[in-house]
Amino acid sequence: MLTWLFNEIRNIQKKDPAAGSWLEVLICYPGLHAMIFHGIANFLYKIKIPIIPRLISHISRWVTGIEIHPGAKFGKRVFIDHGKGVVIGETSEIGNDVVIYQGVTLGGTSTKKVKRHPTLGDNIVVGCGAKILGNVKIGDGSQIGANSVVIKDVPPNSTVVGIPARIVIHQGRKVHERDPLNHNLLPDPEADAIRCLVTKIKELEEAIKILSKETNSKEVEKVLDKYPLPKFLDDNGAQSKKDTIENIDDYMHGLGI
C-alpha cells in the first residue's frame, strides 16, 4: 500500500507542474483521494460485500467530486487531474499511465449486465469534458480531445476530436511523445475541410473565367460576380474594419456565431 501511494504521488508530481511537496499532493489532490477510496471499495466489491462499496463510492463522490463505481478496474499511475465532475462506470477498464481531466465521463450505453463501459489502454490522455460512451476500446498512446464524444473504437497512437469524435493525424507523431498537458493543441478537421473546399472553389472559378474569356462569354462572369464567396470564407481577409471575421480559422473559432 505504501509503495503504491509513493508511486502515485511521484506520478502526480511528474505530470502536474503545479504539484508541490509529497505532503501537498497527499492532502490536496482529490484525484489521489478518489483512487484511495476506490481501492478500498473495489476490494470489498470483489469479495461481494453488499452496499458498503457503493456507500464508500458515494462518500468519495461527496468529498472529491469524482464518481467511480466500485467495479471499475484501474492500472497503475492513473492521474485524475482536478477531477470535478468525472464519472467512471462499473465495467470501465483503465490501463497504466492514463491522465483524465475534469468533466470526463466513461459511460455505459446498455441496461443489460454486460461489458457496457469503455476500455482505455496505456499512455492515454482524456481531455476536459470528453465523453467516451459504450463498450469501446481506446488504443494505447491515444489522445481524446477536450469535449469530444467518442462512440467508436480508437486505434493506438491516434488523436480524436469533435462530436462525434473523428480520428485526425497530428503531424505524423505518436501522441504519447507529446506533452500530455497539451490536450488543447488539436487539429480542427471542420476548418481544414472548409478550407480545402474553398480552395477548390477558387480554382474552379479561375478555370471558368479563363474558359469564358476564350469563348467571349460575359454571362459567366456576371454570375460569378453576383454570387461571391462570403467574406468569412475568404482567406484574403476582411476589407474593412466593420468586417470582424478575417478568415476561416476565426469563423470556426467563434467569430462567425
Q: Is pLDDT above 90 for 194?
A: no
Q: What confidence score (pLDDT) does residue 207 get?
A: 83
CA dist., res. 140 & res. 94, Å (int): 11
Whole-model pTM? 0.71
Q: Hey, is 87 helix, strand or coil?
A: strand
Compute CA distances 215 → 208, 227, 228, 240, whole Å.
10, 21, 22, 35
Tens of pLDDT, residue by residue over 66-85, are: 999 999 999 999 999 988 99
Q: What confidence score (pLDDT) does residue 254 get?
A: 54
What does the block give as the cell for 60?
468519495
CA dist., res. 230 & res. 243, Å (int): 11
Kindly tell me the burial class for residue 78, based on how many C-beta atoms sit within 10 Å of its own C-beta (0-12, 13-18, 19 or more): buried
Q: What confidence score (pLDDT) does residue 208 get?
A: 81
Contacts of 52 (CB under 8 A, 6+ apart): 41, 44
Nearest-CA neighbor of 107 among 133, 125, 84? 133
Averaged pLDDT of the chain: 83
Q: What confidence score (pLDDT) does residue 225 get?
A: 73
For the chain, which residues make up each domain, given as ranges? 2-177, 189-255
CATH class of 2-177: mainly beta
**Per-position DSSP letters for 150-172, written without gaps between them:** E-S-B-TT-EEETTTTEEE--TT
CA dist., res. 133 & res. 86, Å (int): 13
Tens of pLDDT, residue by residue over 4-54, are: 888 899 999 988 888 889 899 999 999 999 999 999 999 999 999 999 999
**178 near 170, Cβ under 8 Å?**
yes
